[in-house]
Amino acid sequence: MASKVIFLDVDGTLVDYENHLPESAVEAIRKARANGHLVYICTGRSHAEVPPKLWDIGLDGMIGGNGSYVEHQGEVVMHQMLSEEDSRAIVDWLHERGLEFYLESNNERPLC
């Protein structure tokens, strides 16, 4: 059988909206990998927002941050980032207008 690459969405697909991961999903992913297939999550989440229980399944990597971050077998293949200067300018602009916002990062280092 030819090897396949499987991409799985996270929220509302692999896990429900309470972050519950069904054992049937864990078993299916492990079986796919045991059969020589590669399994990746593809999510809007940043790397830092992926709970350890997902990595514990034995994933081959992820496409995260809505495509701004790609990881394969623990190696970062692509990571598009805003500069700290641009990030601060955006935050200042949002604050000046009293707008609420949420920042995400692929690491846990706070920006502001």
> Is there a single domain that holds both residue 27 and residue 41?
yes
Say whether 60 is catalytic.
no
Candidate list 9, 11, 56, 86, residue with the active-site label: 9
The Cα–Cα gap between 71 and 48 comes to 12
Contact 54, 14 (CB under 8 A): yes
Note the pTM of the prediction, 2 decimals. 0.81
> Is there a single domain that holds both residue 15 and residue 51?
yes
The Cα–Cα gap between 51 and 55 comes to 7
Higher pLDDT, 108 or 71: 71
> Is there a single domain that holds both residue 70 and residue 112?
no
Predicted pLDDT at 81: 87
> Is there a single domain that holds both residue 37 and residue 68?
yes
- Whether the pLDDT of residue 112 is over 70: the answer is no
Pairing assessment for the beta strands 61-64 and 69-72 based on DSSP bridges: antiparallel
Predicted pLDDT at 71: 96
Give the CATH number, domain containing residue 10.
3.40.50.1000
Contact 8, 40 (CB under 8 A): yes
The Cα–Cα gap between 89 and 17 comes to 33
Predicted pLDDT at 106: 75
pLDDT digits (tens, 9 = 90+) for 59-102: 999 999 999 999 999 999 999 988 889 999 999 999 999 999 98
For residue 44, give its domain range.
Answer: 5-80
Q: How many distinct structural domains can be found in the chain?
A: 2
> Is there a single domain that holds both residue 66 and residue 56?
yes
Predicted pLDDT at 70: 97
Contact 80, 59 (CB under 8 A): no
pLDDT digits (tens, 9 = 90+) for 7-43: 999 999 999 988 899 999 999 999 999 999 999 999 9
> Is there a single domain that holds both residue 12 and residue 41?
yes
> Is there a single domain that holds both residue 18 and residue 66?
yes
Range list of H helices, the chain: 23-34, 52-58, 84-96
> Is there a single domain that holds both residue 85 and residue 66?
no
